[in-house]
Chains A and B, each alone.
Chain A
Amino acid sequence: MTELVTSEVRLMPTSSLLRTVRANPLLGVAAALGLTLVLLALLAPVLAPHPGDAGTATHPLDTFLPPSADHLFGTDPVGRDMFTRVLYGARVSLAVSAVVISLSILIGLPVGVVAGTLGGIADTVLMRITDIFLAFPALLLALALVAVLGPSVTNATIAITITWWPWYARLARGQAASVAGRPFVVACRVLGLSPARTIIRHVLPNSLTPVIVQASADVGGVILTSAALSFLGLGAQDPTPEWGLMVNQGQAYLTTQWWLVTFPGSAILITALAFNLLGDGLRDMLDPRTRARQP
């Protein structure tokens, strides 16, 4: 069957892509920063001066060393190189974000799209269920779950995912509901295309934009949440180099060995900042309303 209706997918051609990046310096900076962080995470084993320190190695003779040429970020209470651990921490944080967001999209998107497209009872039921999950503040539910399952990075990831997916369901539902009402989708129905095909071929691609924007900003959010969990001792456990955990470990020495808290904390801030800016920039670029504002 020939395509009698055309989808209104709002993707931009590459030429105007470059133009928009130039018009949007913030997006460029954020993307560069984000990319750098990802690269640093991937290349950590190569870049880190003391890779063993990210694991079980301890150096009792080198404890509490202030930042120096040899140890850029100093050493921690058991003598491990902070710079190495912060670098490896990027791997942990970004991995957790990737998993949480992918799973949340995988679960939330279908739920939301189905609810938004089908409407009626299915919509109400599904949305009430997400409402119930949304009523639990993320951290609290994560706390309770981790208390049940035991503290570890894996369990923290699961806990965060369970509290995160409803947001994507909500988002997808809103998009799907507005797209489902658009003439070309109604035309699909009239033409007899099965709802499933309509959803997959037409509704999904058009619901993608806000999901992409949300996902890039969410990397920051997930990192903050997982750092918070680790800070409370409910996420990563020693010797895993997780930024939140490191802040916790350095808390007692805040006034004397300031570098124990400052560098991991700054890492959290900078990473969250980069991805939030990226989300902002993407939204400015992809949101048709803000695009319309630029002549």
Chain B
Amino acid sequence: MTYFFARRVGLGLLVVAGVVVLTFVIARVIPGDPASSWVGPHASAAQLRDARHTLGLDRPLPIQLWRFVRGVLDGDWGMSIHTHQPVLSDLATRAPASLELVTAALLLALALGILAGLVAARWRGRPLDVLVRLTSVFGVSMPSFWFALILQLVFFQTLHALPVSGEYDPALDTTHPLAVHTHAPLLDALVTANWPVLGSAVSHLILPMLVVAAYPGGVIARMVRASVLDTLGEEHVRMVRALGFHERTVFARFALKPSLNPVISVTALVFAYSLTNTFLVEAIFDWPGLGSYAADAIQSLDTPAIVGVTLFVALVYVAANLAVDLAQAVLDPRIRLR
């Protein structure tokens, strides 16, 4: 088991290394002189030279790569040209908001998706199954940005029911100021027992969460349904039926666990997709996360920031895959052999 774990981590690190190199290559290809962006349009030649030196742009390429890699490992991810802050601290400030949204959305998608998939498989061919299949294919086909706009239109404009921008009501900043720890308002409010902000944060989370959850929810529901149906056709389910167990027990106790395997791996897949979907949606909902940060960075050709975001997301993806691999190994003893 430990060998399996070590091997997986090793492979993960290999991929991370490749990602770092690839990111660096992309960064070097981006046009525009980072030094002149750094100092602004009215800089003198001397200032420009200093900037180039500070940013390490006067060294040969392999040295730059080496410094880059070392920097990444040391925690120095460069300085954002736009914000003039260390990229890593920028990420620390902005990432939690996106992670909060993605996690909430994924939890919702998992809960609803698994439930829907199970129901559809259990009552295959019946109206409930058809409903689940239609809803999930809608979820998978829905353009997230459009869905966000439509929800805004319906819930805010027409129904005046739910808030559509920001993470929580800005008026609360004066009445119940939030102590910032993790930069994720929901967590911070929970930890500091700031109930008004917590309530506001939750209500502000609902619409963006729904939008981001649509795609993974659909994927998971379809996957669960297919997986359970596959398992139900397998020999071991036939044997258990032949032993006299009630269909309910066959379903819940014997068919469920073996079916969960593909669900877990699909979750890692949709996690990365959802993270980028989150970025799309952040602009529409005024959500101050990585998405808006990345959008700004791209507009201003802020190479270190772009590199930082790309690297961060890639690392998150690798970590998610690793977690999935391990979860699969725990759930299915056959995998530990590989």
A→B interface (CB under 8 Å): 128-129, 131-132, 135-141, 143-145, 147-148, 220, 224, 227-228, 231-232, 234, 244, 247, 251, 254-255, 258, 261-262, 265, 268-269, 272-273, 276-277, 280, 289, 292-293
16 further interface pairs, Cβ-Cβ under 8 Å (given A135-B19, A148-B30, A228-B145)? A131-B18, A132-B19, A135-B317, A136-B313, A137-B273, A137-B276, A137-B317, A139-B280, A143-B294, A144-B30, A227-B145, A228-B144, A272-B142, A276-B141, A280-B137, A293-B233
In angstroms, Cα B22 to Cα A141, docked, is 11
Whether B298 pairs with A139 at a CB distance below 8 angstroms is: no
Whether B298 pairs with A147 at a CB distance below 8 angstroms is: yes
Residues in B with CB closer than 8 Å to A255 are 153, 157
Residue in A129, A228, A234, A273 whose CB lies within 8 Å of B138:
A273
Residue in B15, B22, B138, B310 whose CB lies within 8 Å of A140:
B310
Closest to B233 in A: A293
Tell me if B80 is interfacial: C-beta within 8 Å of chain A: no
Contact flag A137-B306 (CB < 8 Å), given A220-B141, A228-B145: no
User: Can you offer 29 A-B residue contacts whose CB atoms are under 8 A?
Assistant: A128-B15, A131-B18, A135-B314, A135-B318, A137-B273, A139-B277, A139-B279, A140-B310, A140-B313, A141-B310, A143-B298, A144-B26, A144-B30, A147-B298, A147-B301, A224-B141, A227-B143, A227-B145, A228-B145, A231-B143, A231-B145, A244-B143, A247-B145, A247-B149, A258-B153, A265-B143, A269-B142, A272-B140, A272-B143
Tell me if B230 is interfacial: C-beta within 8 Å of chain A: yes
Whether A144 pairs with B15 at a CB distance below 8 angstroms is: no
Size class of the contact patch on chain B:
35 or more
In angstroms, Cα B269 to Cα A131, docked, is 12
Contact flag A269-B149 (CB < 8 Å), given A137-B272, A293-B233: no
Closest to A271 in B: B141
Tell me if B152 is interfacial: C-beta within 8 Å of chain A: yes
In angstroms, Cα B143 to Cα A276, docked, is 13
Whether A132 pairs with B15 at a CB distance below 8 angstroms is: yes
Whether B141 pairs with A128 at a CB distance below 8 angstroms is: no
Among residues 50 to 71 in chain B, which have CB atoms less than 8 Å away from a CB atom of chain A?
Answer: none
- B86 → chain A closest CB, angstroms: 20
Contact flag A269-B313 (CB < 8 Å), given A147-B306, A255-B153: no
In angstroms, Cα B309 to Cα A140, docked, is 9
Whether B29 pairs with A148 at a CB distance below 8 angstroms is: yes
Closest to B309 in A: A140
Closest to B156 in A: A255
In angstroms, Cα B150 to Cα A258, docked, is 9
Chain B binding surface, main DSSP class: helix
- B238 → chain A closest CB, angstroms: 13
Residues in B with CB closer than 8 Å to A228 are 143-145, 280
Whether A289 pairs with B230 at a CB distance below 8 angstroms is: yes
- B320 → chain A closest CB, angstroms: 10
- B40 → chain A closest CB, angstroms: 21
Residue in B26, B153, B275 whose CB lies within 8 Å of A137:
B275
Residues in A with CB closer than 8 Å to B152 are 254
Whether B11 pairs with A277 at a CB distance below 8 angstroms is: no
Tell me if B31 is interfacial: C-beta within 8 Å of chain A: yes
Whether A231 pairs with B314 at a CB distance below 8 angstroms is: no
Closest to B145 in A: A231
- B119 → chain A closest CB, angstroms: 18
Closest to B271 in A: A137
Residues in A with CB closer than 8 Å to B48 are none
Residues in A with CB closer than 8 Å to B301 are 147
**Which 7 A/B pairs are nearest by Cβ-Cβ distance?**
A265-B146, A272-B141, A132-B18, A139-B276, A273-B141, A137-B276, A137-B272
Tell me if B229 is interfacial: C-beta within 8 Å of chain A: yes
In angstroms, Cα B30 to Cα A177, docked, is 38
Among residues 11 to 40 in chain B, which have CB atoms less than 8 Å away from a CB atom of chain A?
Answer: 11, 14-16, 18-19, 22, 26, 29-31
Closest to A220 in B: B141
Residue in B22, B26, B284 whose CB lies within 8 Å of A132:
B22
In angstroms, Cα B145 to Cα A261, docked, is 10
Residue in B18, B26, B309 whose CB lies within 8 Å of A128:
B18
In angstroms, Cα B153 to Cα A139, docked, is 26
Closest to A264 in B: B146
- A216 → chain B closest CB, angstroms: 13
Tell me if B295 is interfacial: C-beta within 8 Å of chain A: yes
Closest to B152 in A: A254
Contact flag A269-B18 (CB < 8 Å), given A137-B275, A143-B298, A144-B26: no
